[in-house]
Structure 1
């Protein structure tokens, strides 16, 4: 498949690019700094295009003839800072997709973007991490998810991983749940970015999670 990857120089985006290339996909990394991308992934099969994210018109040419758009865009912010990256970037991406009649989108947010009284966050997340550190990031992720749910012409899959760690890709099995978190984690506390990338790529040709937000974690095989 012909893939366009946003956020390709980030640690999860890099995994998406490298694994997609290894699987034989035609991959285009859309980045602000092509030299940085080329240094990170010195693969002659990778297409690298310098991107201006100012409007759909500037992004639209980069999505011509693409089958799937993947976004691993993320931000680090201070607890008190305003966060609009997720909604702002997704509105530009969707508009550019529409101009090219691209329907399939896979993007990444996080556990706990939504509140479910039947599936509440653990104590530390609910009373410390979310209100004091990640509240505005998670809120903007939730706004982006809501925006996609209102886009009836986009076949999106929103992948919600837990705390992200570094490490090589594994063959662990995925536990999933259409909700804010996965309850049965088999004692796992986080998920390596390489496995998040593996799951994202696995959803591209599947209809299981079309137009859904899916919480995921990798657990040891039984």
Structure 2
């Protein structure tokens, strides 16, 4: 597949680009700093293009003849407003429409929405989210809501738990359509590399089309 990857120089994005190239995909990394990206993934088959997310007109040329778009864009701002997720996705979707690109896979997180029927653990709900991640999660939820209204976009929003470092594993994926995965196999977090592996694994699948899927990698039984 011909893939356009936003946020390719981030921790998940780098892993996704490496794995996508290894799988034989035609990958274009869309980044603000091409030199940085070239250092992170020194692969002659990788196409690297400098991107300006200020408007759809600047993004549209980069999505020509692409089969799918993957967004690993993320923000970890602790202070001030967070609008990266909605701002970037509105631009990306508009550019996709101009190129008739339908398939989109992007990343948010567990617990983007406080659901009383399926609440987050006490520490996350009453300490971590209000003090540290609330603004980020709110904007993630706003992006998810925006995509739900895009009837012409075949999106999948991937919701992982806390992200950790480490090389890719062969652990199996437990998934749920919701804010979290209850069968966690003793795991609390998920490696960036395994999130990337899952995102690539669902590209051609209709199982999670137009859905938000919570995922975690667990040891095989």
TM-score between the two structures when normalised by the length of structure 2: 0.99
CA–CA separation in structure 1 for the residues paired with 2:87 and 2:166:
30
Is 1:45 paired with 2:45? yes
The match for 2:68 is 68
| TM-superposed deviation, 1:115 | 2.4
How far apart in 2 are the matches of 1:21 and 1:122? 38
SS in 2 for 1:187: coil
Deviation at 1:117, TM superposition (A): 2.1
Residues in 2 aligned to 1:159 and 1:210: alpha-carbon distance in whole angstroms: 11
- Structure 2: distance between partners of 1:200 and 1:149: 18
Show the counterpart of 2:24: 24
* Alpha-carbon offset, residue 52 of structure 1: 1.3
Render the CA deviation track for 1:69-124: whole Å, top value 9, x for unaligned: 0000001212x310000000000000000000000000000000022222110011
Which structure 1 residue ranges, 4+ long, deviate > 6 Å from structure 2?
A: none
Question: What residue is the counterpart of 2:216 in the other structure?
Answer: 217
What value does the CA root-mean-square deviation take over the aligned residues?
0.6
SS in 2 for 1:167: coil
CA distance in 1, matches of 2:219, 2:108: 23
Separation (CA, whole Å) in 1 of partners of 2:53 and 2:131 = 30
Q: 2:106 — aligned with what?
A: 107
- In structure 2, what is the equivalent of residue 126 of structure 1? 125
Aligned residue for 1:127, secondary structure, equals: helix
Aligned equivalents of 2:138 and 2:34: distance in 1? 31
CA distance in structure 1 between the partners assigned to 2:191 and 2:133 by the alignment: 19
**Normalising to structure 1: TM-score of the pair?**
0.98
Whole-Å separation in 2 of the counterparts to 1:174 and 1:70 = 19
d(CA) in 1 for partners of 2:42, 2:117: 47
CA distance in 1: counterparts of 2:176 and 2:187, whole angstroms: 15
What's the secondary structure of 1:126's corresponding residue? helix
